[in-house]
Structure 1
């Protein structure tokens, strides 16, 4: 009897516990808790994946940053490299380091050349040099009658002379007595592959040797000058050898030639040597005429082409120029050499490595004025005596 009651009581308790469990399971808060727990456990792999992606992105960012720094460093090195065409007159002088620093800082070659010219002019003014107003890097002026050097600056170094080379080319051709009426043809061999300069003479054009010489000297036609060398007996090697032999014959001991146009910077000379060259060419009537003629027209393939002198001073009636030649390549700068009659005296003028076409012409005009004033002062002193 007692045992039966205990069994009934245990059954009632178990039934109550089961009912309570079912009630808890069906409770909204229990469901939310279970769902939240499940979502949390599912979110862990996603967060891990995001963390991995972030790490990968960080590595890529670091690599990109490293590459960027590398490129920046390379660009910085390129910017610090000095541009080419450093003015010749600064080489071997005290201002070389200053010029190099200016170029390294990004200054243009023209600006550095202009600044160097200003420094030289200032130094000349302090020393009392009457050539202080001249801006060309190299200045050499000589009275050919008395052999007196009137003005000189940076005249003791052999430098590239650009198209002034063509004076030697003409001298070799004329002294070889090659017929000026012989027809020569411009070929692909005459095309400039050194400086890639332009020419108004097309490949295939045929001109007389006289016309080729005329255009080479008056208008500085490179193809014409090269053709003159090719048609020399023995070809170009023999012509270059003749150029150097002629230089030695004239006493141009500091000069060297490697080709007839002046496009190569290996063609070098000194101002004193160039005076000797000008004196020799001025003694040849044909060269004297070709270098000072104002313009010349040729007919090629049925078309007339007008060529003009590269030295504008030959058109000025106030100038009496006996021989003249201009030149330019980056290594030589703007160049001008002339023998001019000033106050009835032959005066040799050499201007090299000027920083502009106007500079070399302006310096020539100033030199003429200086020489005239100097001679006027000398004449007045003679009158007083």
Structure 2
């Protein structure tokens, strides 16, 4: 039977003085609210984080992420040109937010993605889906497969743009936080290129980006608003200050002004009420894991980006770190392969986990390696 292996490796600073827990700004008018510290991996606020809701145009973030993935895989090229399909045009011409694609126009993938991310173009998302996958249905199937692959357990997509579909499209704040984290971590250069633009010009028409934080919250760069009569007002956004990035979700707000204020307040609370500390630097060896069937019996474990924690200002709780993995690991293991997790626990804060990677490769054991491993096991 495979056992869960754990080992406590560090305790930092006992609690010196009892502190009142920090409180987020009042946001009752955003019934769903979620704040993730992407640098540390901590969830700083989770209000109804697993409640399913209709994301409306926030759906386009999954279309954007899938496009980024396909570009990375070579299945899409930004300078690639699609011809606007007449059926797609008939269905989506001037429906909701639009980039005003002409019928049978030739348009680049780059322009389509910018139309989706900056002006929330329903026609752009539909045409990107049709052009890339051959049909909108095929693209939506790929969206759902990517959601499963990303770990979005409570999400399903029925359209590439989030237009009303009688509840077929739904998600949760926690899943949207995971989606944003995956997009930012896996595709930082694409994220910088396509997300957070203040305006977009296509076919001689310039339209502004209506996200509520860019230009208003220092370090903010979008990501996507959403509204339909069925869904209410929502927003998935992110900001970075001094190397620390937060991702936030507010949803089910009754008015755009309420949503916009709640989004800004949530980010400012996250940056203002918490201070970040580095517990371990980049590349530091945290411990080791046992390996079975390898040319080495153990492998060192590292957190490639270091280990950080965000704590309420003025607090000094005990912090405990422990390594967990399902072991022994089985060879072969690639260098930098994720093989374990670091559990971080601090009094008064939700626990969280940091991925740990193999510091070096471990090949499969040869004959002499197996003999040596057997002798070592017999002597233990």
With structure 1 as the length reference, what TM-score do the two structures score? 0.60
Work out which of the residue numbers 286, 291, 301 in structure 1 matches 2:190: 286
Query: What is the RMSD computed on CA atoms of the aligned residues?
Result: 2.7
Relative to 1, partners in 2 of residues 1:194 and 1:269: Cα closer, same or farther, differing over 3 Å?
A: farther
Match of 1:270 in 2: 172
Greater share of residues in helix: 1
Equivalent-residue separation in structure 2 for 1:228 and 1:305 (angstroms): 19
Per-residue deviation, 1:228: 0.6
* 2:123 aligned with 1:220: no
Which of the numbers 312, 315, 321 marks the counterpart of 1:378? 312
* 1:173, distance to aligned residue in structure 2 (A): 1.9
* Deviation for aligned residue 1:194: 12
- In structure 1, stretches of 5+ residues that fail to align are 1-127
Task: Quote the offset at 1:171 in angstroms.
Answer: 1.6
1-structure distance, mates of 2:161, 2:233:
15
Q: Which runs of structure 2 are paired with 1:57-72 in the superposition (5 Å)?
A: none
**3-state SS in 2 of match to 1:314:** coil
User: How many residues align structurally?
Assistant: 252
Given candidates 54, 64, 71, the residue that maps to 1:170 is: 64
Q: Tell me, yes or no, if structure 1 residue 295 matches structure 2 residue 199.
A: yes
Q: 1:270 to 1:191 in 2, by over 3 A?
A: farther
SS across alignment from 1:366? helix
Instruction: Work out whether residues 92 and 122 of structure 2, in 8 Å CA contact, stay in contact via their aligned partners in 1.
Output: no
C-alpha contact 1:342 1:371 (8 A) present in aligned 2: no
Q: CA deviation at 1:282?
A: 1.6
What is the Cα deviation at residue 338 of structure 1?
Answer: 1.1
Q: Following the alignment from structure 1 to structure 2, what is the Cα–Cα distance between the partners of residues 337 and 176?
A: 22
Aligned pairs for 1:158-197 (under 5 A) are 158-177=52-71, 178-186=76-84, 187-192=86-91, 196-197=95-96
Residue 336 (structure 1) aligned with residue 336 (structure 2): no
214 and 253 in structure 1: CA distance in 2 versus 1, 3 angstrom threshold? same
Higher mean C-alpha displacement, 257-266 vs 184-193: 184-193
What SS is found at the alignment partner of 1:269?
Answer: coil
SS in 1 for 2:257: helix
CA distance in structure 2 between the partners assigned to 1:202 and 1:145 by the alignment? 39
Query: What is the CA-CA distance between 1:267 and the residue it aligns to?
Result: 1.4
Q: Name the CA shift for 1:267/1:133 in 2 (closer, same or farther; >3 Å).
A: closer
Residue 50 of structure 2 corresponds to 156
Residues 353 and 132 of structure 1, relative CA distance in 2, 3 Å threshold? same
CA–CA separation in structure 2 for the residues paired with 1:132 and 1:334: 17
Give the 5 Å matches for 1:27-46: none
Residues 255 and 132 of structure 1, relative CA distance in 2, 3 Å threshold:
same
Structure 1 residue 156 displacement after superposition: 1.9
User: Is the 1:297–1:306 contact (alpha carbons within 8 Å) kept by the matching residues of 2?
Assistant: yes
Residue 351 and residue 195 in structure 1: after superposition, are their counterparts in 2 closer, same or farther (change >3 A)?
farther
1:130 Cα deviation (Å)? 3.6
Higher strand share: 2
Is 1:145 the counterpart of 2:49? The answer is no
CA distance in 2, matches of 1:323, 1:199: 18
Q: TM-score, normalised by structure 2?
A: 0.60
Query: Which residue of 2 is the match for residue 313 of structure 1?
Result: 213
The residue aligned with 2:359 is: none
Question: Are residues 179 and 130 of structure 1, via their aligned partners in 2, closer, same or farther at CA, if it must alter by over 3 Å?
Answer: closer
Which protein is bigger by CA-based radius of gyration?
Answer: 1
Secondary structure at 2:133's aligned position in 1? coil
For residues 102-124 of structure 1, the C-alpha deviation after alignment (integer angstroms, 9 at most, x for no partner) is: xxxxxxxxxxxxxxxxxxxxxxx
- Per the alignment, residue 124 of structure 1 pairs with none
Match of 2:224? Answer: 325
**Bigger relative contact order (CA 8 A; separation at least 6):** 2
For residues 327 and 282 of structure 1, what CA distance do their matches in structure 2 show? 19
After superposition, give the CA deviation of every residue in 1:250-285 in whole Å (9 maximum; x if it has no partner).
Answer: 001111111101103421111111111101222322
